[in-house]
Amino acid sequence: MLSSYRLPTESGKSAFIPKRENWETIHALSIAWIRVLCEVWPLSLELSGRERAQLSFGKSLQKRLKNSGLLWLTPITSEPIMLDLRHVQR
């Protein structure tokens, strides 16, 4: 049985669309640090419940595709990246 989900449409009311600061607030910080998160295996492809955490479907595909390449299942997070905003103009 498929469940229906309501997607968030307003910033700040969900983790999917976080509250955004205005440019003046960000620029005043001068230096900002960010990390990029790449979710390469969406959990929506897994069954719900306990099996979802075990990545059963993804692991079975990994085994089938091992001779063709690597199917990555866990999120990839970058090292911190420094953004120097002191000379950036709007």
pLDDT tens, position by position, 55-69: 889 999 999 999 999
Domain of residue 71: give its range: 43-90
* Torsions phi, psi for 83 (to 5 deg): -115, 115
Q: At 26, is the secondary structure helix, strand, or coil?
A: helix
Kindly list the distances between the CA atom of residue 57 and the CA atoms of 5, 6, 45, in Å, as whole numbers in the listed order: 22, 25, 8
Give the integer Cα–Cα distance in Å for 21 and 28. Answer: 11
Most confident of 2-6, 25-29, 55-59: 55-59
Q: Is residue 90 part of a domain?
A: yes
pLDDT(1) > 50: no
Number of domains in the chain: 1
Q: Is residue 18 part of a domain?
A: no
Q: Is residue 17 part of a domain?
A: no
Q: What is the pLDDT of residue 4?
A: 45
Q: What is the rounded end-to-end Cα distance, in angstroms, of the chain?
A: 49
Buried b (16+ CB within 10 A) or exposed e, 67-89: eeeeeeeeeeeeeeeeeeeeeee
Distance of CA 36 to the CA centre of its chain: 8
Q: What is the pLDDT of residue 18?
A: 62
pLDDT(28) > 90: no
